[in-house]
Structure formats: C-alpha cells, structure tokens
Structure 1
C-alpha cells in the first residue's frame, strides 16, 4: 500500500519522491472531522519530517480545521482528493500566529508587511511543494480585522524562500491573499483553481517566477498582481516573470469553483466595479523588469493595468495574445505617477520598452476608453501597441470630448481618477514614442469623442 501511495504522489506532483518518507497526518493525531483543530498534529508531522531531512506530509481525505501551519525546508504538503484544509475562526483562547513586527510597515498595506498571521506560512526556507487535488478553504481568514492578535488574513504566505512549487490544488475564500510571495526566488504556480474574496496571487519583490494554467476569480480585488513593495526594507525589483495560459475573472465569490459564474455582485470594496484582472503595481518602490504575459483570458473584470507610482522602474514588458470580454473599465491602462509611498527622497520612476500585441476586447465600458498617462516631466516611453481590436459600448457625446482630465499625480491609480476621458479610443498624455499599429475600434452605440486625444505626447500611427 505504501508503494502505491508513493507512486501516486510522485505522478500527481511531478516530483521524484519515490525514496521520500511519507508522514500521514492522521498518524500524528489529526482527526479530519472538520471540528477538531488539526494544525498541532500537522505541525508535529512537519517538525518530524524536518528533523529527518524532509519528506512528504500526506493529507488523506477529510476536513482539517486549522490555525497556522508552519512550513519547513524540504517538505511537500500533499492534499489527497477529498482533503480540505479549513481555516478555522479564531476565538478568545486560540488563533493564528501573531503578525511579526516590521519597521517598514508605513510603505505598503498591512497585509503586505506580515507573513506569520497566515494559514500556511514559511520564512527563509527552500525546496517546498504544495500540491495535490484537494482544497484549501480559507473561510476563517479575513482582511477587515487582520490587525487583531490571533486573526489570520492570508492562505499561503512565503518570505525570502527559494525553489517553491504550488501545483494543482484548489483554493476558496482566502482572505487578503490566496498566495503572498515576498522575496521568493524560483517560484512555480501551476494549474491552480482559485476563487477568493480579495487578491489571488501577489508576487512581490520576487525573481524567476512562472505562473501558468491557472484560473483565478477575485471580484473584490486583483486576480494576479505583481508588486515591488518596500516590505523587506530594501528596493528590490520583481523580475524575470512569466504569466501564461491563465484565466482571470470577477464573477460572484465562489461561483467559478461551483460552475455557476453568477453576476449578482457588481461592486468591489473600493466602490468600483468588479476587479479580477492582471496588474503590475500598485506597490512599486522597486521595479518590474523582464515580464511576459501571454495567452490569457479576462472575463467580467477590469482591464490590464501597468502602474508605477512609488519610484520603481517598469521596463521590458511583453504582453501578447490576450482576449477580454465584459470589461468594466479601461481595457488598457498604463500609469506612471508620483504617489511616492517610499522612503523620503525616492525619485519618480520610469515606464518604458513595452510591447502589447494581439489583443481582442469585447463589450468594454467606454467611459475611460484606454489610457496611457505619465505626469509632467516623467514620461511613459517606447510603447508599441499592435494588432488590437476593441469593441466598446460607446454612447458618449461631443461635450465629453472637451473634458480636460486632472493630473492626479499622487492619487491611487485607477482609470476613474481622471473622470470621463475625452477620447473614445486612447487618451495619451506625457508620453513619447507611442506607436499604434493596426489598432481598430468598434462601438455598439455611436461615440462622438475622437478616437485619439493627446496632450504633451508623441504618437505614431501606422
């Protein structure tokens, strides 16, 4: 029987663990009854494996109510089909590990600044895999009360780790983040199904990351977002990243995993329409370099957003083969701003050398059209957009074409920061060498604004 389990684990996780020892959590006291808090038994199994040089922590079918699960190096967590790790609700006596102190908390949101207040966490580790066909259910996690001791606000949280694989599992209602990775090198996220109430994947100050074949539904926040915060106390870029063959959406929470794809909740907590997109930024003390996004689908969500507003350099980005449907704000939004939530004296960043091609957008809201906007004396440069078809709803008047959007240099970047845009296609401001090649627009109802409006910008149309 043991050999069968070993073989099955190896095939399922695509890792060679034939000679690894299997640590069945039920042998360490886990009940799997959905009521007993099983994290002490799970942590005991992990500690035993770590003492022996590593191994595979096996979750047989069952419902495992847990508080913080503490990872160690050279560990695989394998969730059998029917296995469910459930984030338990804290009480007066017990809860999640306390959020550790961080002297740099003023430079990014609370959730980005701490890692231990999570369902599953690891700091300074290596060679970890989380895999299998089971479910991580974060129903006891929250964002709203996350500053209280004992409260957990993330499902999987990793800091300063390397050689990490998260593969094949499903995740539901995961608090502020389904996965927060900060300062992680060599990270693979493959074939996950995530249906969550805030961010899906936050990849922060990481290098060499591969995100592929994932479906992420996150109506209240971003689905896949790259960050470069100051949480580690240094300026560190997020670089060498590929995002491919992924689906992102903003359907009602839980309705992607159950297959109903409901549309009853139109609004996110920031009072905009549903989110669910792929984004670079907002936290951008560090930069974003060598990023590829390819073969992805957006549905019922906001559009693609590239943002550097805290001093980071966003450079060398390639985006190709994207299809979008039912987009609730600007399908393409590039913003170089000066919010500057970074240490004092940090200069404004840059945004340049960006290729966006083979994009098809259907049924996009027209109020904000598409936006490429730097600020005075800080220009977005060297952007090429080619083979793009956008089907807008239309419906705006010639009076809207007279609007002059405010600069909003220090405002949190979202398309609505500018109000209704005077262009029906692209509004380009404080930008140089912006090339449009085979860019086509279609309107369900007439739109009397001009296709292109520029302000302090140099564009080339072919």
Structure 2
C-alpha cells in the first residue's frame, strides 16, 4: 500500500529534474504544489537481496585437472575433446571436487556435463568452441559439414507444450547440468558458439532456432534430428557462479537457468545472436558488473515458465551495475559496437532489454534493478499474462539511450498459458477435442504421473477467419462478424437436452457433469478455453525512479496497460526524463498504416542478409483487430476515433501490439494508483499527439509532470468509454457493455481534454446492443486519403547512421586520412513495389556530412568527400565528432585519435 513518506534525497532530486526541464524548454512544476503537497506517496517495496554465493565461496584450486592431461587437444578432434573434458570433470567429481582447467588454446567440443562440486576455469586465451553437429538442421534451411559428433540428445519433459521448446529441453547444450549443486565456470577465457569458415564468413554453430517439437510428451525433445542451441543450460541447480568469462554467439540462449536457486553472475560479457541470460522460475539470483549484448532477443530476461516441471515463481533477483545493448552480434567483444542491423527478427528495433516475461505461468516477486545502462535497446518491460502475479519491483538509477520501443512497458494480459488437466489420457502434446480449443498444448493428460490442475475458469474462442484489406496492398484476418465465436463441446455435458459444466471429482479422478451448473445454449460460447488459473494475472507495487531516457522511437510511449478486470495497481514513476524523437500525429494513430522498406545488413563478418523495416505498424505483433483503422461509423459517415484502442488481451504482449497510440509520452489504461513525480516528457521534432492519455485510470497524481505539447494540443487526454466488456469477451455478441472512466485525478496545471468513446472498438461484431457496426474497409466505404505507396515515410522512426568508424592511432609526423560514410534507411525500396531485389541497398543519398566543434590543430574536413585529414602537431589524445544531417535530426559519431 501507499504511505505518506519522502526522503530528503528525493526532495533534492526535484530541483535537478526541474533544471533539466528548463534546459529542454519545458515548464516548471505547478506553483500550487507546496512542500506539504509534494510529500508524494511512496511504496514500501521490499528490496531484493539476491544470492548468498560468489566466487570466493566456491573457489577451490587445491586440486587442478588440466583437460590436456586427459587428452584434449587445441584445434583437435571435437569428439575426443568432449570425452577428455568430461573425463576430467568426472575425475574431479569422484575425488570429491576440484577445478578443471581449460588452458590457452582453441578446444572444440560437444556437450560438457557439469558435476556437483566441480568448477571449470577457462584461462586467458582459452576457448571452448561449439563443434559442428553431424546432424544439423539450421534455420534458413542451411546445412554444414559435421565434425564427427552431436550434442546430447534432448531429454524427455512431460510438461512440453506449456512453454516454448527452448524452455523445455536443455541437454542439447554446450554446457549442461541438471539437479547439480556447487558449480562455477570462471576465468578470463571465451565460450564461442560460432566460427569463421574458409571464406571468412561467420557461421553460428549454436543455433538461434530449436529442433522440431516431438509428437508426444513421452518422446525426447525433437521429431527428426537435433543440434546444439544453448551455450550454458542449468536445470534445477543450486549454488551456481559464473564469473569473468566471455560468451560469443551462444545460440537461442547463451545462459538459461531453469528452476535454479542461489546463483551469481558477475563480470561477464555476453555478446550473442539471441537471448543473453534467462532467469526462469529461479530464486535468489544476483547479476552484477556485466555487459549483455543481444540485438535479436532479450538481454536479461526473467521468466516463470513450467519448464523445470515445478510451480516455482521467480523471486529475490538483484540486478546491478550492468549494461544491456543491441549492437550487432559479435561487435561488443571486439570493441566495435557496430549498428548495421536495424531491427530484430520480429521486425521491432534492437531488443536487448531487461524484461519480465513473456512466459509468466508461475509469477514473479521482489526484483530490484539498479544502475543498469540500456544502449540501443528496447525499454524496461514487465509482462504478467498467464494467470499469476508480478509484484514488488524496483528499478532505479538507470539510463537508456536510443530506445527502440516503449521506455517502460507494463502489461497485464490473459493469454492463460497455465497447466490445466484435460479429459484425455493421451500423451500427445496437442490433444484434440479437449478442454481448450486454442493452444491445446497447455492441456495435461489425466494420468497419475502428471501434476493435477483442475479447470478453474473459462474464456471464449474466436473465429478469426475473415480476410480484409484497407489499402489493397496488405491484408490480415479479423473476427468473422457473421460467425464470431466457437463452441467447445468437450466442456459441456448434454443431458436430457440441457447443457451442464463439468466439475472435478477427486474420488473418481475425472470430470463429471455438475448438475448444479446448467448453461444456456446462448452462453455456451463462454466456455471454449479452460484454464486452471483461477484468477486473472496481475501487476502491483512497482517503483521506477531516477531514470534518464533519450532518443526514443516516436511510435512507442511509456505504456501502462492493465485489464478492465485486473488493473495495474500502485505504480510510482519518480524523477524520470524522457526525450522522444517525435514527428508523428493523430493521423497515424487513426490509420494504423503498414509501411515498409528493404534493408541489407551484415553482422561482424556474417553473410549479407535482407530484412524488412516497418516504419509505422509492425505486423509481427500487431494482429487482427489491432490493424484496423480506429474510426467509427456515425450518422452515415466515417469519423476518426483514435482513442478507441482495442484491448488485445490474449495476443503476444509486445509494446507494438497496440500499434500507433494516441499519446507520444505516456499511455495508461486500466490503472489504479499511479504517481508521476518529477516526470519530464519532451520531443525533438514536434509531435502533434497529446503527451499523456489516461483511460480508466483512478487515484492518479500528475501534479509535477512537465510535458511539451504542440500548439493547440492538450497535455492530458482523459477517456470515458461507454462500450467496454469484461476480459476476453470483447467480441461475444450480446455481451453487455459497461462504462469506464477516470476518477480522482490530480493534474495540477496540466492542460486537459476529456474525450468520450461512444462506439464499440473496430472489429466488434454487430448485435442488438449496437446494431450498426461496420468493418472500416473499402467495401464499407472506408479508404485512406493517401495511397499507402504514396504515403511519406516518418523519417524520425529509422535514422541514418555512420558505417563503422574505429578509433585511430598514428605516429607523430604521420598524416591521417579518414573517410567516413553513412547509410540512410529512408533510401530503401518500399516493400509494396513488385521487384524490391533490384535496388535494396540503402545508400547515403540525402545526407550532408560535417563535423561538430573545433577540429584539432592540423586537421581539416572536406564535406564533399567526407574525408578528415589530420597532421598532428603534438602527441596526445584528440576527439573529432562527425555529423550526418538528413534535415530531420542530425546524427553524430565521436572518434578518438591517439598520437604517439
């Protein structure tokens, strides 16, 4: 609960934030806020203490086992090396413990099986390199020549289907331990999941993909073949330390800790092709002094899946003094930190964030994140969508720069990925005709060897089969208005012409008709998908403070998104400044356009690859009704309705799921108890949307928010919606509507506009409660005023950048000649054009080169050839800042020149 307390430190922060606001041209806080009124509520949130184990606790070098003494050979046969390394570990284990040593050298290996009480030390210039598997089905349908062996065969996991393959099977990893304790991997060496082939092209051996799923839960975790796809996998382990090592291109997971207790990660560099570090249903964890680079997936991610086969929430996690970044994979370890790849595989910008979710079956509690720097990444992400709670979260004293998604994203959803016992006794992962029509893999067989999870509640299933197109260029599916819902007869017992729900009978160990719960035929649609999660997911008690955020993608505001029946509760955002690039308007929030161009990139020696850049809506996550224009049919015409944002409660919870929102700074919906203390919202290029939109928000204090707004645009819009429905029932015909509104708001001097939504959300099927609902498509008279192929690209979304310019060193008396170059995504060919492969290279057209500040004595810059010439007059270190200008927002790059 809230308490009336504020520290002297927080009072001092007020003046610092006010000064920053003045520097950005923002108004000062409201004069009415007296010292007494400024005593903002705070949350008494317990701080995480983390692990109790570290390197000093497990360090034991009294008995050393050199892998070369057991037959391992640098550049040698990986099958023999695997035997040798595992033999050394086994010898140490049988001797009661010790340390296995990897000396300088490049040792290829398959699965290394860690043992309790045994440490592994990788010395400086020592490399454990992933060996190529003989059976290798690589993503991209490429194959490679094997080296005589394969990784351990994926194990059996009866709870397959309840989470993705990567969180279910672990044995096919480079380092693997299950049910072990007192393990440490440390040293100054490298774990490398990749290699350079004979042409100098980087090849990822540890795959970012997973083997194909098996058919049955009792099968091992593949259907045809398998391969290595994780660097380090730890399952139900205890007392684990990773210290000092470097990991390069670690596959789907560089590190995954599943159901692990008491773990410390310190002083690591993880520079990888997908997830860097997954903390999944694990407890008592400390992560410190480390850099996690993961452009294509998350950097430090807390999950709470069922992969360990136990219901175990993630809790007591302490993350401090770390960097998370989304530079090109492999470029951080080399020090280059290049930025050639613009979006991740999911078409959103570089990922690389600290995140809770998406797998949230078991919940999260008591996590503290402090002094973390986000660089070229998505923002801080909290997701509770599977029926459990997310509580007691603190994030403080952090910075974010070049943010490619919502700087802060809090989402409650109702995906309900939660185990539920079915009628069936079959072992198939996707059993047909059972208690779920959607996501049947979450249904467990009714057998003694499985844990029991009887049905607790239900939700509808929708027939999303109607294909529509707004512009004739792109198409997508929405709920069929004529046949919107599906009925699941497996959840309804028909007796004497009447329908009854089932109940679990402990004595018979099966479901039996519940004769006390008769269901009318019209209400049968509510019982299509069963879950054992009795309650909706929830988020509460979150404090985020002392955060400076710069260079944010204008499409994604801070997003606080609860459910109409499970609101986000008790959130404080304190001492936060956010600078967006801006440049959008309510038109984009209305139309939800799909614009794209092609882009060619290469990461740290990998082969050139083409990717599509979405400039507005990203259809990888935004689906179905979320792609419809936000308009309403009124009095025989279409009118803009940008504040009528669909709920999308069961979709994958990425910030881009809701498309372009009608606020540039903060969008908060279904929130109870919100304090924004000393929050500054700003943009570089004028954004014509309101700074803040509040929809179904109560007990909110925004008195010390400063927000830049365009002329004539109010700072805050509050929404009253007369057409809301309960969670999951949004598209059920004849489901009663009710009204949500904003209550008990303290806005100080912020300008306010009140908006009323008086039509159902686009895509809602018509019924007797609102008979004239139409899909906004050309067949119903709706069309864009400007054709998609002619619509201008919003240039503040994807920015030009410099091709790699490294720091320079030269001798006194030498002359440095340095030519810089840049690339401009806006020059790419649009995806709507018929033959994009002809011209897909986005060059530097439209860019003006220059320098900022004074050049060193003896230096000159020619803008036409964009070449620096420098003949230094004295030894020392010099800095030159180059600029790229596309007449939107200049881009800069500083190069250090050392003269010796």
TM-score for both structures, normalised by structure 1: 0.95
Deviation at 1:404, TM superposition (A): 2.5
1:114 paired to 2:157: no
Q: Deviations over 1:35-71 (max 9, x none)?
A: 5431110000111111111110011101110000001
Q: 1:371 aligns with which of 552, 559, 563?
A: 559
Q: Is the 8 A contact 1:229 1:286 kept in 2?
A: yes
Measure the CA separation in 1 of the matches of 2:258 and 2:702.
40
Is the Cα contact below 8 Å between 2:58 and 2:184 reproduced in 1?
Answer: no
Question: Is the CA contact (8 Å cut-off) linking 1:13 and 1:132 kept in structure 2?
Answer: no
Q: State the match for 2:661 in structure 1.
A: 421
Verify: 1:141 aligned to 2:382, yes or no. no
Partner of 2:96: 53
- Runs of 5+ consecutive residues of structure 1 not aligned to the other structure: 1-11
Secondary structure of the 2:92 match is helix
DSSP 3-state at the match of 1:386: strand
**Structure 1 contact 94–150 (Cα < 8 Å) conserved:** no
Which shows bigger deviation, 19-28 or 223-232? 19-28
CA contact (8 A) 1:355 1:383 kept: yes
3-state SS, counterpart of residue 203 of structure 1? strand
User: Larger radius of gyration, structure 1 or 2?
Assistant: 2
CA distance in 2, matches of 1:196, 1:16: 27
Distance 2:702 2:55 in 1: 48
1:267 Cα deviation from its structure 2 partner:
1.7
What's 1:286 paired with? 362
2:303 to 210, 224, 227: 227
For 1:84 and 1:247, how far apart are their aligned partners in 2? 24
Aligned-pair distance for 1:30? Answer: 0.3
Q: Which residue of 1 aligns with 2:84?
A: 41
Residue 322 of structure 1: CA displacement?
A: 1.0
Between the aligned partners of 1:413 and 1:440, the Cα distance in structure 2 is 26
1:78 maps onto 2:121 in alignment: yes
Q: 1 CA distance for matches of 2:241 and 2:558?
A: 36
Measure the CA separation in 1 of the matches of 2:268 and 2:553.
29
1:249 touches 1:299 (CA, 8 Å); kept in 2?
Answer: yes
Which runs of no fewer than 5 residues in structure 2 stay unpaired?
1-53, 136-147, 195-204, 213-221, 420-530, 591-641, 704-900
SS at match of 2:166: helix
Could you tell me which residue of structure 1 aligns to residue 697 of structure 2?
A: 457
For residues 374-415 of structure 1, the C-alpha deviation after alignment (integer angstroms, 9 at most, x for no partner) is 112011000000100001111122443834321110011111
Between the aligned partners of 2:349 and 2:586, the Cα distance in structure 1 is 25
Give the corresponding residue for 2:242.
166
- Asked if 1:316 corresponds to 2:392, the answer is yes
Q: CA deviation at 1:14?
A: 3.8
237, 240, 255: which is aligned to 2:313? 237
Cα gap change, 1:14 to 1:233, in 2 (>3 Å): closer
Partner of 1:105: 160
Structure 2 Cα separation of the partners of residues 417 and 297 of structure 1: 25
Rounded Cα–Cα distance in structure 2 between residues aligned with 1:61 and 1:17: 20
Q: Secondary structure at the match of 1:338?
A: coil
8 Å Cα contact 1:228-1:237 kept in structure 2: yes
Q: Is the 8 Å Cα contact of residues 330 and 366 (structure 1) preserved in structure 2?
A: no
Whole-angstrom CA distance in 2 between matches of 1:232 and 1:90: 26
Q: How many angstroms apart in 1 are the aligned matches of 2:154 and 2:309?
A: 17
Distance verdict in 2 for CA 1:113–1:36, change over 3 Å:
closer
Rounded Cα–Cα distance in structure 2 between residues aligned with 1:183 and 1:405? 38
C-alpha displacement of 1:274? 1.3
Q: Which residue of 2 aligns with 1:9?
A: none
Partner of 1:356: helix, strand, or coil? strand
- Residue 153 of structure 2: SS of its match in structure 1? coil
| 1:149-198 Cα distance to aligned partner (Å, 9 max, x none) | 34011100001111100000000000010110011110000000010000
Partner of 1:7: none
Instruction: Give yes or no for the alignment of 1:340 onto 2:416.
Output: yes
Select the residue among 53, 62, 69 that pairs with 1:20.
62
In structure 2, how many angstroms separate the alpha carbons of the residues matched to 1:348 and 1:80? Answer: 49
Query: Which 4+ runs in 1 deviate beyond 6 A?
Result: none
The answer on 1:361 being equivalent to 2:437 is no
Number of residue pairs aligned between Structure 1 and Structure 2:
451
Match of 2:347 among 271, 282, 285: 271
Query: What displacement does 1:307 show?
Result: 0.5
Alpha carbons 2:61, 2:99 under 8 Å: kept: no
Q: Is the contact made by 2:112 and 2:175 (CA closer than 8 Å) also made in structure 1?
A: yes
The aligned counterpart of 2:747 is none
The alignment partner of 2:128 has SS state of strand
The 3 A distance-change label for structure 1 pair 302 and 23 is same
In structure 2, the residue matched to 1:6 is none
My pick for the range that moved more, 403-412 or 154-163, is: 403-412
SS in 1 for 2:318: strand
**Preserved contact between residue 291 and residue 318 of structure 1 (Cα < 8 Å):** yes
In structure 1, the partner of 2:27 is none
TM-score (ref. length: structure 2): 0.49
Match of 1:29 among 58, 65, 71: 71
SS in 1 for 2:357: strand
In structure 2, C-alpha distance between the alignment counterparts of 1:360 and 1:16, rounded to whole Å: 38
Match of 1:350 among 520, 538, 562: 538
2:112 maps to what in 1?
69
* 1:235 shift after superposition: 2.3
Cα separation, 2, equivalents of 1:133 and 1:171: 11
CA apart distance, 1:108:
0.8
Alpha-carbon distance in 2 for matches of 1:396, 1:404: 18
